Structure 1
Amino acid sequence: MPRTPVVGLELSVHGRPATLWLKLESYGPYGSVKGRTALALWQDVAPRVDPGIGIIESTSGNLGLALAGVAAAHRIPFTAVMDPRSSTALVDAVAALGGRVLTVDRPDGAGGYLLNRLARLREQLAAEPRLVWPDQYANPASPAVHTRETAPELRAQTGEQPTSVLIAVSTGGTLAGFRAYLHAARPAWELVGVDVTGSAALGGTAGPRLLPGIGASRRSLFLPHGHAPSVRVTPQEAVSACLWLAETTGVAVGGSSGALVAAALHLLRTTDRRRAACLCPDGADRYLETVYRPSWRRRQGLAGADVGRGVGVRAVTHLPAGPPPAHPRAREPSAPQKEPP
């Protein structure tokens, strides 16, 4: 699998130099970090799959697209159980690849749709027991691919100096994989889990959430005891970070990546840490109708957070990493066009 690239930002944070690395998983298969997860899950379940029946998964979007691509490549049916917060572009892409989309439109009472998506999935399994569920929420193949591939890549690209590595949490598989690598390989990392307000992924009580791809209605099965240190970010901070990054660097990332950048800037502003790295799960192409649309932000009341306060960008360094992505949606991030007034 080709490595994904890293962009290095040389910053001035209240006059002090700092470095922020962004590993852009939008360059990976199917345009997100879930491309890695999908390939690992497929390798695990392939021997059990009936080619005429196929696989089913609950997804907020990115894994659905990735599994739809994998299923199409192997000519097997795929069913994605999604919800109204899933990007229209992702839903359409799953369907374009031949996937069947079941939409759960009733909230689960825990701030999202996850619990009801899982209930709908289990109904499908009961109706057709030969369906195979890769189960991104509990399958050890999910964290294992990040222990084996993603974490060593990041270490090789950013060097051996002490670095705070920030990972977004939803299922918890990526963070669990990085934690296993940290324990085994002992890089000079501080591993920080980043969640959003209203999420129970790392513990606590679930509540309303706005952004897909980060947070969960229940505790992560991969991280049953949580993770420390961890940071919670508000939707306002995540969106503000997305806009700040696009305006100052031309790099446009998704909402969960915005949460990581907001947390990293806070860390660089308030501690003596001088280097931070964010594993950015996806790009802006899945958020043009939401995060990057002023009318959507106004409707959601997302204003008032200035995460770039006191931070200047002195230089942007692009580190190449293998051939361009194979999927047409996995294109180079760029500053989105402004919405007409």
Structure 2
Amino acid sequence: MTWAPGTGDGLAPTPVVRLGMEVAGTPRQLWLKLEGYNPYGSVKGRTALALWRDAADRVERGTGLVESTSGNLGLALAALAAAHRVPFTAVVDPRTSAALLYDIRALGARVVTVHTPDGAGGYLLNRLARVRALLREQPGLVWTDQYSNPANPAAHATGTAPELHWQTRGEPMSVLVAVSTGGTLAGFRRYAAESGAAWELVGVDAAGSAALGGPAGPRLLSGIGSSRPSAFLPDGHRPTVYVDPAEAVTVCLWLRATTGIGVGASSGAVVAAALRLFRADARRVTVACLCPDGADRYRDTVYSPLWRRAHGMARSGALPGVRVLAADGAGPLTEGVRW
């Protein structure tokens, strides 16, 4: 079946913005798929809907659902649980945005915060241990398990990926996807294999992440990277680009200043990786970036001068020679701005 609006996950398509740009004097085209326009404000709205549909017939109204989350999935599941009048418990950590926590609680969800780092650069392993403890304490509690539930990659194989292919008219291009659980990238791989899409699929991960087999180490940004290998991509993924926090943050600030488009930390990492790929190969003319969420979840981190100073966040060297010339579908463009 040919994909068209309404034939995938049933959600309205999220917008795609095309940036015409020069990188080191060479014309390039960068597509940004803005998943912040999904229900509940992120690509995790798609994942949450798939996880809810998978779990709905097992949920008991007295106990409900539980999930470990860095924030976005927790908000989406909290909204779905509230709509169906079942309890939801979000297991989070100190990196979760204060604004997201406020919204999750406002939907009636319980929030459990894990404060102890897991020794692998983050909190994930201890969040998962807390989920398992809750399952033992509350018989009947259902774990949606975004980390190994096949519904996660399926949401993107049948929804996000074919939607992007349709929106970009099937053009050959590199497609960049950030990794946390690995479900989104695994879904894109499945779609590309089954459809024959002329895509070079590139994983984008955080320095210090073990999601795609790299060594675990300290990580700062939420929503990208993992303390353990992805269950959906047990053999990793090639090619993969690793991005450090300063590079991702610099690109977020640059993108908003030059185009008016505000994106989150993992989106900044993906766009930073795209700029690297443009520099690496003059023949790579078109790149698409899946941007998981918007700037609204990062006002107290990426877009906060106080937070950036507290973490010694100096501007990286990601942007010399990059010039945005035109933006189809974006807000006001600051023409010809150089960073």
TM-score > 0.5, shorter chain as reference: yes
In structure 1, distance between residues paired with 2:140 and 2:88: 13
In structure 2, distance between residues paired with 1:311 and 1:66: 35
Equivalent of residue 309 in structure 1, options 313, 320, 329:
320
**More moved, 29-38 vs 267-276:** 267-276
C-alpha deviations, 1:61-101, integer Å up to 9, x for none? 00000000000010000000000000000011000000000
Per the TM alignment, residue 161 of structure 1 is displaced from its structure 2 partner at its CA by: 2.3
What's the Cα RMSD here?
1.5
Equivalent of residue 92 in structure 1, options 92, 96, 102:
102
Equivalent of residue 177 in structure 1, options 184, 187, 191:
187
Map of 1:270-285 to 2, 5 A cutoff? Answer: 270-271=280-281, 272-285=283-296
Q: Is the 8 A contact 1:38 1:63 kept in 2?
A: yes
C-alpha spacing 1:198/1:334, structure 2 compared with 1 (3 Å): farther
Structure 2 equivalent of residue 244 of structure 1: 254
Percentage identity across paired residues of the two chains: 64
C-alpha deviations, 1:157-181, integer Å up to 9, x for none? 1122221000000000000000000
Q: Secondary structure of 1:53's partner?
A: coil
In structure 1, distance between residues paired with 2:149 and 2:273: 28
In structure 2, distance between residues paired with 1:292 and 1:213: 16
In structure 1, distance between residues paired with 2:324 and 2:120: 39
Q: Is the 8 A contact 1:172 1:221 kept in 2?
A: yes
Structure 1 equivalent of residue 6 of structure 2: none
In structure 2, distance between residues paired with 1:81 and 1:304: 33
In structure 2, distance between residues paired with 1:270 and 1:119: 41
In structure 1, distance between residues paired with 2:327 and 2:315: 27
Structure 1 equivalent of residue 207 of structure 2: 197
Q: Secondary structure of 2:143's partner?
A: coil
Structure 2 equivalent of residue 136 of structure 1: 146
Q: Secondary structure of 1:154's partner?
A: helix
Structure 1 equivalent of residue 306 of structure 2: 295
Provide TM-score, normalisation by structure 1: 0.93
Structure 2 equivalent of residue 152 of structure 1: 162
**What is the total number of aligned residue pairs between the two structures?**
323
Structure 2 equivalent of residue 107 of structure 1: 117
Which 5+ residue runs of structure 2 have no aligned equivalent?
Answer: 1-10, 335-339
Q: Secondary structure of 1:282's partner?
A: coil
In structure 2, distance between residues paired with 1:220 and 1:265: 26
Equivalent of residue 20 in structure 2, options 10, 33, 40:
10
* 4+ runs deviating over 2 angstroms: 332-335
Q: Secondary structure of 2:121's partner?
A: coil
Structure 1 equivalent of residue 226 of structure 2: 216
C-alpha deviations, 1:243-267, integer Å up to 9, x for none? 1101110101000000000000111
Q: Does 1:61 align with 2:63?
A: no
Map of 1:223-242 to 2, 5 A cutoff? Answer: 223-242=233-252
**More moved, 254-263 vs 307-316:** 307-316
Q: Is the 8 A contact 2:47 2:152 kept in 1?
A: yes
Q: Does 1:126 align with 2:136?
A: yes
Per the TM alignment, residue 197 of structure 1 is displaced from its structure 2 partner at its CA by: 0.4
Structure 1 equivalent of residue 89 of structure 2: 79
Q: Is the 8 A contact 2:327 2:333 kept in 1?
A: no
C-alpha deviations, 1:195-225, integer Å up to 9, x for none? 0100000002211000000000000000000
In structure 1, distance between residues paired with 2:52 and 2:332: 27
Equivalent of residue 44 in structure 1, options 54, 58, 76:
54
Per the TM alignment, residue 333 of structure 1 is displaced from its structure 2 partner at its CA by: 12
Provide TM-score, normalisation by structure 2: 0.93
Q: Is the 8 A contact 2:258 2:333 kept in 1?
A: no
Select the structure with the greater relative contact order (CA < 8 A; seq sep ≥ 6).
1
Q: Is the 8 A contact 1:251 1:334 kept in 2?
A: no
Q: Is the 8 A contact 2:326 2:333 kept in 1?
A: no
Per the TM alignment, residue 334 of structure 1 is displaced from its structure 2 partner at its CA by: 11
Per the TM alignment, residue 47 of structure 1 is displaced from its structure 2 partner at its CA by: 0.5
Structure 2 equivalent of residue 256 of structure 1: 266
Q: Is the 8 A contact 1:246 1:334 kept in 2?
A: no
Structure 2 equivalent of residue 327 of structure 1: none
Q: Is the 8 A contact 1:284 1:333 kept in 2?
A: no
C-alpha deviations, 1:146-166, integer Å up to 9, x for none? 000100110111122221000
Read off the aligned partner of 1:183 and give its amino acid letter.
Answer: A
